[in-house]
Amino acid sequence: MSSNPTRTRQFDLIAFDWDGTLFDSTAIITRCIQAAVADVGGTVPSDKDAAYVIGLGLMQALAHAAPDVPKEKYPLLGARYKHHYVLHQNDISLFDGVLPMLDALKAAGHLLTVATGKSRSGLNEALQAVELRGVFDGSRTADETAGKPHPLMLQELMAEFGVPPERVLMIGDTTHDLQLALNAGCASVGVSYGAHEHTAFAPLQPRHVAHSVAELHTWLLAHA
């Protein structure tokens, strides 16, 4: 593909996952999941098992991470996770290089959106905390639509902005994100610096796997 900076965009709408893709939160979320499970007397999941569920809706994630916790304790499990997360949320920040990348994409005319397993209140708090209000044109969260990898998040964003699947690119750090894109008929790019091992990405057909924000930025400017 031509690297001419004046070339036509391949994608009109770019949807980003949040945690582990733009926000350096994987380690803290993993620890909060483990602490919540311990609080309700469940078997504490390994780092790998706790990280695997990042990107899913909260209760879906906690149920998967703590299969021996009875359903009647799920509300308490969720409350304990939120308790631990609030204690650490100010320790989390954007990955280095994210803001310049988003600014460059916006300047190039892309619609920028977020498709996340976070709650609406959680995403809104994060956007305010990192002064990103106005950067994103739209967003969907797991508590207001179907959770990943169901395609509804992307389908709703496509409908909102009138963009067909072939003009949409999903970017994420988990197999849940890439499966979401595949289910919605959209292209995807994986990043290897988040929650899931990138060796699991290949069957989900990402266009590229970026190993840093800088590499992602370079690829998007050349190919998006």
pLDDT in tens, 151-203: 999 999 999 999 999 999 999 999 999 999 999 999 999 999 987 888 889 99
How far is Cα 33 from Cα 63, in angstroms, rounded to an integer?
11
Give the 3-state secondary structure of residue 111. Answer: strand
Q: Encode pLDDT of 47-65 as tens digits.
A: 888 888 887 777 788 788 8
Q: Are 20 and 55 in contact (CB under 8 A)?
A: yes
This prediction's pTM: 0.79
Q: Give the integer Cα–Cα distance in Å for 12 and 112.
A: 9
CA distance 147 to 4: 38
